[in-house]
Structure 1
Amino acid sequence: MSSRRMTTIAGSLVAASFSTVMILSATASADDEGPGSSKGGKAVDEAPAGVKLTTLLPEEISVDNGSQETTMTATVKNEGTEDSGKIRLWVVGFDGMTVKNVQGCSPIAEGDLPEGSNSGYTCPLDNLAAGDSKSYDVAATYDLNKTGKICLPVQNSDGSKTFWQQGPVPFGTTNPSPDAPATPLLLGTDNTPVAPGGDDELPKTGPGRDVLPLGAAGAALITVGAAGLWWSQLRPRQRES
Structure 2
Amino acid sequence: MSSRRTTAIAGSLVTAAFSAVLILSCTASADDQGPGSSQGGKAMDAAPAGVKLTTLLPSKISVDNSTQKTAITATVKNQGTKDSGKIQLLVVGFDGLTVKNVQGCSAIGKNDLPAGSNSGFACPIDNLAAGKSKSYAVDATYDLKKQGKICLPVQAGDGKKTYWQQGPVPFGTTNPSPNAPATPLLLGTDNKPVAPSGGELPKTGVGQDLLPLGAAGAALLTAGAAGLWWSTRRPARQLRG
Under TM normalisation by the shorter chain, which class is it? 0.7 to 0.9
Q: Determine which of 225, 230, 234 is the counterpart of 1:234.
A: 230
For 1:175, the aligned partner's letter is N
Q: What TM-score comes out, normalization by structure 1 length? A: 0.76
Q: Report the equivalent of 2:202.
A: 200
TM superposition shift of 1:45: 0.4
TM superposition shift of 1:194: 1.8
Q: 1:230 to 1:155 in 2, by over 3 A?
A: farther
After the TM superposition, list the runs of 4 or more consecutive aligned residues in structure 1 that deviate by more than 3 angstroms.
16-21, 196-199, 201-207, 219-224
State the superposition RMSD in angstroms: 3.0
Q: Distance in 2 between matches of 1:78 and 1:230?
A: 29
TM superposition shift of 1:206: 6.0
Q: Distance in 1 between matches of 2:57 and 2:203?
A: 26
Q: Indicate if the aligned counterparts of 2:168 and 2:207 stay in contact, CA closer than 8 A.
A: no
Q: Distance in 2 between matches of 1:130 and 1:21?
A: 25
For 2:237, the aligned partner's letter is E
Unaligned runs of 5+ in 1: 1-15, 26-33
Q: Distance in 1 between matches of 2:39 and 2:227?
A: 13
Instruction: Determine if the alignment matches structure 1 residue 22 to structure 2 residue 21.
Output: no
Percent sequence identity over matched residues?
A: 67
Q: 1:203 to 1:112 in 2, by over 3 A?
A: closer
Q: Report the equivalent of 2:41.
A: 41
Secondary structure of the corresponding residue to residue 55 of structure 1 = strand
Q: Indicate if the aligned counterparts of 2:79 and 2:131 stay in contact, CA closer than 8 A.
A: yes
Q: Distance in 1 between matches of 2:227 and 2:76?
A: 17
Q: What TM-score comes out, normalization by structure 2 length? A: 0.76
Q: Indicate if the aligned counterparts of 2:168 and 2:208 stay in contact, CA closer than 8 A.
A: no
Unaligned runs of 5+ in 2: 1-24
Correspondence 1:150-169 to 2 at 5 A: 150-169=150-169
Q: Which digits, 9 at most, give the CA deviation of each residue in 1:84-120, with x for residues without a partner?
A: 0000000000000000000000000001111000000
Q: Which digits, 9 at most, give the CA deviation of each residue in 1:197-240, with x for residues without a partner?
A: 77423447467xxx89x9xx9x773659xxxx997x73113242
